[in-house]
Copies of this chain bind each other. A is one copy, B any other.
Amino acid sequence: MTGSGREKTPYCPVGRVLGLRERKKLEAWRTIRSTALRLISERGFDAVSVEDIAAEAGVSRTTFFSYFRSKEAVVYDLDPQELQQWRELLADAPGDEPLWEALTGLVLSLAELLADRLPLQKRLFQQSPELCDSSRDVCDSFGPDLREWVARRTPDGDELHAALVLNTAFAAFNTAIEAWDPDDSFDHFLDLARDCLRLAGGGLARSVS
């Protein structure tokens, strides 16, 4: 919905020094999120309604939707502080590396940033296939930013190549997520992601099998 506007409201800015308002908002965001994750991991995604989450978080249904665009978003969205770190990462990324190498680095940094959330998230995927189906992309929340970053450093005429590189990096990342067992260590996931990115970057054509 909402056409393709990026952010309806500049929600949860996370500036340097937070006023009372901003602190409350961040707190509300986190209460809703953690409540949601708790309920969903207890009962499964489908068995929890937005109403349940809102009630349990002590907030109205309407407010829930002012913090999260959809029910899935409460699972996928980055914490405002993570989002800020992610944007700093993008801002600081070197501009001289070849695109694929730069992207590989970014994706791996991102993975580390998500270290806390990913295991739980992956477990939710396994419990609730409907979650997997709907948003098949864990990339939803950071994807747009990354797209923009790629676009900015892409010379005219090379859009196809840039898009291909980006989509392939996503594919590699998602493949690693799919393959990972959340009971294994997170380092193991990082290895998987590295492997996938390396294989995809090195060319899938000539290869085993």
Partner-B contacts on A (CB < 8 A)? 1, 3-4, 46, 98-101, 129-130, 133, 136-137, 154-155, 158-165, 167-168, 170-172, 174-175, 178-179, 192, 195-196, 199-209
Contact = CB atoms under 8 A, between A and B. Distances in A.
Contact of A179 (B100, B163, B199): B163
B1 A200 contact: no
A178 B166 CA distance: 12
Contacts of A171: 164, 167-168, 170-171
A1 B100 contact: no
Given A4-B129, A99-B209, A164-B172, 10 more contacts: A100-B207, A159-B179, A161-B207, A163-B178, A164-B200, A168-B171, A168-B200, A170-B171, A171-B171, A200-B200
28 contacts: A1-B46, A3-B129, A98-B205, A98-B207, A98-B209, A99-B207, A100-B205, A100-B207, A136-B136, A136-B137, A155-B209, A160-B175, A161-B199, A161-B207, A163-B175, A163-B178, A164-B172, A164-B199, A167-B175, A168-B204, A171-B171, A200-B200, A200-B204, A201-B203, A201-B204, A202-B203, A202-B205, A203-B203
Given A167-B175, A171-B167, A201-B205, A196 B160 contact: yes
A86 to B, nearest CB: 20
Nearest to A198: B205
The 6 A-B residue pairs with the shortest CB-CB distance, nearest first, are A203-B203, A201-B205, A171-B171, A167-B171, A4-B129, A164-B175
